[in-house]
Amino acid sequence: MNRNRIIINSVDRIDMISYAEIMYIQSSGKYTTFVTSNKRRVTSSSNIGSHHLPEHLFIRVHNSYVVNINFILYIQKGENWNIILMDNTSIPVSRRKRDELTAFISNS
């Protein structure tokens, strides 16, 4: 078992993606989409919680999003918080996750 990558079962294939390549993960219903730094999108039919990710690299910032902290460019604060990634993708941060995100970033 390689501890540096995740194995994702999709409908028609099995993908292996390095944790370092994953920018963010988006959940939509019963599907989970992994988006990599080279814009590759891999969709799994399992929910986001079933994928075991390294806790020192990934943080859940919203019910539908998990972010790799190495791709965070900045956090836009205000009434609605958003994480802006290196490629300018904007990821919403839920109100419930703001304190957890702030603590996580402070301890990284």
Q: What is the CA radius of gyration of the chain?
A: 14
Question: 102 by DSSP, 3-state: which?
Answer: helix
- Cβ atoms 10, 42 nearer than 8 A: yes
For the chain, the structural domain boundaries read 5-106
Q: Report the C-alpha gap between 38 and 62 in whole angstroms.
A: 23
**pLDDT for the residue numbered 45:** 82
Q: 6-46: per-residue pLDDT in tens?
A: 988 877 889 999 999 999 999 998 889 999 999 999 998 87
Share of the chain above pLDDT 70, in %: 94
Which helix H or strand E contains 60, and what residues bound it? strand 58-62
Nearest one of 54, 59, 68, 49 to 97, comparing CA atoms: 59
* DSSP 8-class letter at 29: T
Q: Please give the CATH superfamily to which domain 5-106 belongs.
A: LytTr DNA-binding domain (2.40.50.1020)
